[in-house]
Amino acid sequence: MKYALALAAAALAVAAVLIAGHPNPDARMIANWPLAGDTRDRSGNGHDAVNHGADLQAIGRDGRAGGAAGFNGRGAFLEIAARRSLDLGTGDFTLTAWVFTDRELDDVPGDIASQYDAARRRGFRLSIKNNAGVTFNQANYRQLQFGIDDNRASDWIDCGRPGKNSILAFALAVHDGGLYAGTCEPGAGEVGRVYRYAGDAEWVDCGSPAPSNAITSMAAYDGKLYVGTGKYRLGGSALTESENTHLGGRVFRYDGGTRWTDCGQLPAAEAVSGLVVYRGRLYAGSLYKPAGFFRYEGGTKWVDCGTPGGNRVEALGVYDGFLYATCYDGGRVYRFDGAAWTDCGQLGDPQINTQTYSLAVHAGRLYVGTWRSGRVYRMDETADSDGRATFAWIDVGRLGEELEVMGMLVHNGRLIAGTLPLAEVYEFDGQAAWRRLARLDLTPDVKYRRAWTMAEFQGKLFTSVLPSGRVFAHEVGKNVTSDRELTAGWRHVAAVKSAGRLELFVDGRSVARSESFNPDEFNLTSDQPIRLGFGANDYFRGRLSDMRIYRGALDAADIARLAAP
C-alpha cells in the first residue's frame, strides 16, 4: 500500500511538472515579484525586495492602480539581497517581465534589471538603451539589450570603410535592424553618403540626399531614420579643406533603398550638429556660426527655439527631464526644458576647457567630455535654500595624454570613450581613472586622429575613426541587442541565457540571438544585490510588473504563454 501511494505521489509530481508536453516553468522559478501593491516574492523562496522610492500603486496592465511598480527614472529602484538561492553561476537562466514605457520620453529608459559588480566587471543586465549625444548622434533609441560579463572583452575588429574615399564615418546610428553610417567624402566630385553595414567589411550604399561633403548627424524619430547634412570644414581636423564647396544644413528622412525625402533647411545653417528626440519632438543644432537650435514641425518646417546666450550647441542628449547640450563656444553645458535654456556651468578651467564635446549617462549620472584637457566631468546637481538648481562638475580623470574626449557611451556596464589626437579608446574604472583599450587609427604624418563616434549593434560597440575612414567593432562580455525601437506601452520581454547563447523575446516572439560563446567563461556568482529599475546605465523610467527569474532556459512555447494577454 505504501509503495502504491508512493508511486501515485510520484506520478502526481511528474504531472505537475508537465503542461502540454513542456516542463512547467513554475517548477524552475527562483523569484517572482508581481509588483501589485507590494514587493514580495511570490515564488515561495523569500526573495522579497526592498523598495527605494518606487510607486507601488502605479497603473497596471488592467488599467487599475496597484497593478504595477512605477519608476521615476531619478532614483527609484527595488533591491533584492544576494543569496545562494539566487546564485546564477555558469548555468542557464531566464528573466521575464511586463514593461511599460511612454511614447514621449524626457529621460533615458534605463535598466530593467541588473546584478553587476563594477570592480570585478561581473554580472548581468537587461536594459532599454538610448545613446544620445555620442558626438552629434542619437546612436541608439529605445533598443532592448541583454548582456553578461565576467571581465571579458574581444579584440577590435576592422569592419571596413564605408565609402571608397571617405575620411570619416561622421555619423553612426542603429535603426530598424540596421547600422547606418554617414560619411565625409571631401574630394572633387564627391559627396557625403549613407551606408548600411552588411557584415564583415561590407557596406551597402544607401545614396546621397544632398550635394554637400558630409552626413553630419543621425537620429531615429517616429519610426524613420533622419540625417543632417553639412559642409565639414576639414581644417578643424588639421586636414586640407574640401574641394566640395556646397553648403549643407538640411535634414532628410530615409525612405529605404536610395530614396530620401527633404525635411527642410535649418535657417542660416551650413551644417547640422546634434540631432535628438525629446518629448516626442525632433531637435537639431547648427554646427557653425551663426548659432541655431530648432524643432521640427513636420514637412519642411523648422521652428527657431533660441540658443543659450547666442552660443552654439553641439552634442544633444536627454536626461532626467531635460534636453542637455554641449557647447562649441566655451567649456559649458546647457539644458533646455522645452521653452528656455539654463546654464549648467563651466567644466574645469575656462582657459583650458574651451569646448564640451559629448554626453553619456552612466549609473544614473550625466558625464561630459571636453576639449582641450582631454578630461571627463560628472554633473552633481543640488538645490539651494530657495529650491533653485545648482551645479557642480566633478573631474573624473584624463584619458591618457589625449586632448579631446569625443564619442562616449556605456557598453555592457562599462563607460567607454574615444579621443583625439591619437584616436584611442578608453574605459572608465568608475572612480577617476581611465584604462587605454586600443589605438584605432594609425595614419602617419597627420596632426589629428579621432575616434569620433560610437553605436551599439548586434551586441557590439562600433567606433568610427578619422582620417582613415574605417569603422571598428569590439564586444565587452557577451551581449544580445534588439536593433529596432521597442514600441511604447506594455510589452512582455524575456531574456534567456541558454547553452552558450543569449536570446531576447518581445511579446512572446524571438527578436534577437547572440553569437555563440563558452558559458564556462562567464561565472555570474556575485555578492552584489539584484536591482530592479537600476543599473550601469540609468534608473528606469516606466512601469514594471510580474518580474520573474527562472533557473534554466525557458523555451519559446513557455515564453509565449507568459506573454499571452
Work out the pLDDT band at 7, boundaries 50, 70, 90.
very low
Task: Kindly state the cell numbers that stand for 175.
Answer: 535603426
DSSP lists the bridge partners of residue 313 as 327
Contacts of 351 (CB under 8 A, 6+ apart): none
Contact 66, 56 (CB under 8 A): yes
What pLDDT shows up at residue 23?
58
CATH at residue 261:
2.130.10.10
Helix (H) or strand (E) segment spanning residue 463: strand 460-466
Contact 296, 302 (CB under 8 A): yes
Contact 256, 284 (CB under 8 A): no
Task: Kindly state the cell numbers that stand for 21.
Answer: 508536453
Average pLDDT of the chain? 95
What pLDDT shows up at residue 2?
39
Contact 88, 149 (CB under 8 A): no
CATH at residue 128:
2.60.120.200
Work out the pLDDT band at 16, boundaries 50, 70, 90.
very low
User: Does residue 468 lie within any of the structural domains?
Assistant: yes
- Domain boundary among the residues 452, 481, 510 is at 481
Task: Kindly state the cell numbers that stand for 222.
Answer: 517616429
What pLDDT shows up at residue 508?
98
Four-residue CA torsion sign, 357, 359, 363, 364: positive
Question: Given a cut of 90, is residue 342 above it in pLDDT?
Answer: yes
pLDDT digits (tens, 9 = 90+) for 183-192: 999 999 999 9
Check whether residue 432 and residue 470 sit in a common domain: yes
User: Does residue 144 lie within any of the structural domains?
Assistant: no
Q: Tell me the HSE value of 473 on the side-chain side, using a 13 A CA sphere.
A: 17
User: Does residue 142 lie within any of the structural domains?
Assistant: no
Mean pLDDT lowest for which of 100-114, 376-390, 432-446? 376-390
pTM for this entry: 0.95
- Burial (CB < 10 A; 0-12, 13-18, 19+), residue 70, is buried
CA angle 344, 347, 349 (to 5 degrees): 135
pLDDT digits (tens, 9 = 90+) for 527-565: 999 999 999 999 999 999 999 999 999 999 999 999 998
Question: Given a cut of 50, is residue 1 above it in pLDDT?
Answer: no
Question: Given a cut of 80, is residue 237 above it in pLDDT?
Answer: yes
- Domain boundary among the residues 481, 499, 514 is at 481
Check whether residue 528 and residue 449 sit in a common domain: no
Contacts of 435 (CB under 8 A, 6+ apart): 426, 427, 429
DSSP lists the bridge partners of residue 457 as 460
What pLDDT shows up at residue 384?
86
C-alpha separations of 134 from 29, 93, 217, 325, 345 in Å: 39, 33, 10, 11, 20
Four-residue CA torsion sign, 467, 471, 474, 475: positive
Check whether residue 333 and residue 242 sit in a common domain: yes
Rg (CA), the chain: 24
Contact 65, 80 (CB under 8 A): no
Check whether residue 68 and residue 113 sit in a common domain: yes
Nearest to 125 by CA among 456, 411, 460: 411
pLDDT digits (tens, 9 = 90+) for 374-413: 999 999 999 888 889 999 999 999 999 999 999 999 999 9
- Domain boundary among the residues 481, 506, 530 is at 481
Check whether residue 103 and residue 228 sit in a common domain: no
Check whether residue 555 and residue 452 sit in a common domain: no
Check whether residue 492 and residue 476 sit in a common domain: no
Domain count, the chain: 2
Check whether residue 108 and residue 251 sit in a common domain: no
Work out the pLDDT band at 8, boundaries 50, 70, 90.
very low
Range of the domain at 310: 152-397+404-481
User: Does residue 139 lie within any of the structural domains?
Assistant: no
